[in-house]
Copies of this chain bind each other. A is one copy, B any other.
Amino acid sequence: MEKYKKIGIKLTPQRLAILDFLDGNKDHPSAEEIYREVSKRFPTMSFATVYNTLEALAERGNILELTIDPHKKRFDPNTELHHHLICTKCKRIEDVHTHFELAVPGMHRKGFEVTGNHVAFYGICPACSHRT
Write the residues of chain A forming the contact surface with B, with a CB cutoff of 8 angstroms: 65, 67-70, 73, 85, 87-88, 94-98, 100, 102, 104-105, 108-126, 129
Q: Say whether B104 contacts A115, CB under 8 Å.
A: no
Least distance between A31 CB and chain B CB atoms (Å) = 12
The 14 listed contacts between A and B (C-beta, < 8 Å) are: A70-B73, A85-B110, A94-B112, A96-B108, A98-B104, A100-B100, A100-B102, A110-B126, A112-B121, A112-B124, A113-B129, A115-B122, A117-B120, A119-B120
This protein's copies in its complex: 2
Whether B102 and A119, one on each chain, are in contact in the complex, defined by CB atoms closer than 8 angstroms, is yes
Q: Is the CB of B116 within 8 A of A117?
A: no
Task: Evaluate contact between B119 and A124: CB separation under 8 angstroms.
Answer: no
Contact A112:B85 (CB < 8 A) given known A67-B69, A117-B121, A120-B118: yes
Measured between C-beta atoms, what is the minimum distance from A111 to chain B in Å?
4
Within 8 Å by CB of A113, from B94, B102, B123, lies B123
With A70-B65, A94-B108, A95-B108: A115-B129 Cβ-Cβ less than 8 Å: no
The smallest beta-carbon distance between A79 and chain B, in angstroms, is 14
Listed from nearest, the 3 A-B pairs whose CB atoms lie closest are A111-B126, A114-B123, A112-B123
